[in-house]
Amino acid sequence: MFEFCLQGTQGAARAGTLTLPHGVVQTPAFMPVGTHAVVRGLSAADVRRTGAQIILGNTDHLHLRPGESVVHSMGGLHRFTTWNAPMLTDSGGFQVFSLEGLRRIEEDGVEFQSHIDGSLHLLTPESVMQIQWQLGADVAMAFDHVVPGQSAYEAASEGMERTLRWLCRCRAKHQELADPVRQTLWPIIQGGVHEELRLRSLEGTLEQGPWTGIAVGGLSVGEPKPVLHHVLELLHPAMPAGIPRYLMGVGFPPDLLEGIARGVDLFDCVAATRNGRHGTAWLPTGRLNVRGAALKGSLEPLDPSCDCETCTTYPRGYLRHLFVVEDILALRLVSIHNIRFLVRLGEQARAHILNGTFERWSRQWLDCYYAGGE
Amino acid sequence: MFEFCLQGTQGAARAGTLTLPHGVVQTPAFMPVGTHAVVRGLSAADVRRTGAQIILGNTDHLHLRPGESVVHSMGGLHRFTTWNAPMLTDSGGFQVFSLEGLRRIEEDGVEFQSHIDGSLHLLTPESVMQIQWQLGADVAMAFDHVVPGQSAYEAASEGMERTLRWLCRCRAKHQELADPVRQTLWPIIQGGVHEELRLRSLEGTLEQGPWTGIAVGGLSVGEPKPVLHHVLELLHPAMPAGIPRYLMGVGFPPDLLEGIARGVDLFDCVAATRNGRHGTAWLPTGRLNVRGAALKGSLEPLDPSCDCETCTTYPRGYLRHLFVVEDILALRLVSIHNIRFLVRLGEQARAHILNGTFERWSRQWLDCYYAGGE
């Protein structure tokens, strides 16, 4: 269980297979986000049909509603949501540190105020392990101290060092609680945009290992793209090759290819569903506004090269009409396309890595996408 | 084409088969309403999985958005919506006469103001035929003058007589326009709650025949249930047996059984999806509030006796959670159940009519439903 096998590489790019209790994940792969135990607006069957192999849940949101004890009493997240495939829960670190309701950060943990009823909640490394074990995803994430993007050295260092100390407590609590064949724990590398801190974070994390996977957090939070790329390039040679690498919160189409080229295996991001809800579809030629008058009466598919339910079924003119009359089916259909778009990008990248054609294909793909005006 | 064969009867209740250009409808049957060329929040595949055999579109709404010429240029409603099965469009009569924007009723037609942009639109028997032919449903409805529920004799008589005169114009225009193997025209009986007017409306309509189907309109608009039942009982012996009878705008679960018992073959109503969106599910024991705290943590299906996608997949506790976190998936899943509930009621009624057990079954069904507190 939790084995990761590499089937091929090209440069830093990797094609692998991750075995989890609820199934296998072929990488590189995009993981749709189901914040409230639902990928916004989509049924489990919708998500399955996109080819997604693994989805995320958000620990802090599920802690508030419906509460981990409710999910646990119903047999865990898989049974609760009817998603019978791999799942990962984040630790809530990113969420509580970006919340307006954040109250108090201490060595013990973080106090935050519920956005729902104003109640106060304390998250500690131990409670976060407890919650995630009760939720029952295949992969639990360590509780991390996330600092704002481009934080100065001092602040980034403090968050990174605390993340290392919390990792030690997470590991101890997870070993005490969790059945090791049903859930694994992955650490998160912090350190902001500072090379030295990123390397120290990786080193300190690996010292506490071994791990079955490793995540890079605190990126895509406002820093320029080249900085993100540089951090990935810096970490790549120092990362163990035999475990999957998860770049947290990253997932616009070009980001996937740039990340894969730098050794990333797993991605997650709400952009696919958020853009879908707002009527923005991703195409190989860039973004398309599905509300646009140009689509009126069009019999073309949204993306003629796409094999998703939306593109193989509905004409553009009908999708636009659904936005005009404000039917919620519109949000769902464009979300389905956008998720399939990212899932397929992972599938295509994998095939090209295995064929040794990733680099050329990726360059052409990005040229075409940016030429569309993204 | 447009043939209707009776397979069996029990008392006034009938089991028949209606053949339309896009497929066959086994009756009695509930027809989900797709006001804007979409059954609110549901994909064509969702609706198909409920077992629905025929759906409705609203002529006046589609005239405003996207406009019949757009639908026509895209190949008609079937291709526009991807619903490759029978469809019916109403004539807009009920809508324009219940609109606040209603401006002017004259012998020629009705002027109304768009609720979208305030523009003025004239609907005449001729234009309504033109619009419906361009939309391209299997069945077009005649343009009728609908009067408020329980209107006095004078007003009801005026609307009924005008409906007869308009029917003559509708028929002439439809014969001029429409390919008779691709679309048929059904008349609508009016006359309010007045026996004499209802019989006169039926007589005047049949004089203009023959027809391939006939509708009863202007009911379920505020009159007491016994009055509705009385009108149906009055019309039953005078209606031709060999064509389907459509009771317009009626479709709460008990209404279906009461209508079927009085010879009705087809029903439509927005209640299934409207209740679904508001979190009210229909069960054999009456209504259930899916938002209710009692459902928290429940692993039971919404309706253990139901075979719909929602009931065979999701636990009640998850459906409630979706309403609590305000995910639109909630609206869709309960709408799917409610539609399946009505479609299945039609299927069950049909089987019991063919078995000669309709009356007993129907009485038991209604007892159980009302015992639940409906």
Give the pLDDT of residue B374: 52
Chain A positions touching chain B (beta carbons under 8 Å): 36-38, 40-45, 61, 65-66, 70, 73-75, 79-82, 296-297, 299, 309, 313-315, 317-318, 321-322, 324-325, 327-329, 331-333
Q: What is the pLDDT of residues A249-273, one digit of tens each?
A: 999 999 999 999 999 999 999 999 9
Q: How confident is the model at residue A305 (pLDDT cuts 50, 70, 90)?
A: very high
Q: How confident is the model at residue B103 (pLDDT cuts 50, 70, 90)?
A: confident
Whether residue B93 has pLDDT greater than 90: no
Interface test with B, best of A321, A323, A326 (most B CBs within 10 A): A321
Q: Nearest CB to B297: which of A41, A73, A82?
A: A73
> Are the CB atoms for B41 and A265 separated by under 8 Å?
no
Give the pLDDT of residue B97: 84
Catalytic residues of B: 90, 268
- Which residues on neighbouring strands pair with residue A233, listed in sequence order? none
Q: What is the pLDDT of residues A54-110, one digit of tens each?
A: 999 999 999 999 999 999 999 999 999 999 999 999 998 888 888 767 778 899 999
Region B210-237: mean pLDDT is: 96
Q: What is the mean pLDDT of chain B?
A: 96
ipTM over 0.90: yes
Give the pLDDT of residue A337: 98
Give the pLDDT of residue A294: 96
Give the pLDDT of residue B80: 97
Distance from the B176 Cα atom to the nearest Cα atom in chain A, whole angstroms: 27
Give the pLDDT of residue B99: 74
Residue A62 CB: number of other CB atoms within 10 A? Answer: 28
CA–CA dist A295, A330 (Å, integer): 14
Region B261-286: mean pLDDT is: 97
Contacts of B174 (CB under 8 A, 6+ apart): B129, B133, B140, B183, B185
Model's pTM, two decimal places? 0.97
Flag if B317 and A74 touch (Cβ within 8 Å): yes
Q: What is the pLDDT of residues B159-213, one digit of tens each?
A: 999 999 999 999 999 999 999 999 999 999 999 999 999 999 999 999 999 999 9
Region A334-361: mean pLDDT is: 98
Region A130-149: mean pLDDT is: 96
Q: Tell which wins on pLDDT, A193 or B222.
A: A193
Residue B348 CB: number of other CB atoms within 10 A? Answer: 16
Q: Nearest CB to A324: which of B65, B324, B325?
A: B65
Whether residue B101 has pLDDT greater than 80: no
Whether residue B77 has pLDDT greater than 60: yes
Q: How confident is the model at residue A373 (pLDDT cuts 50, 70, 90)?
A: low
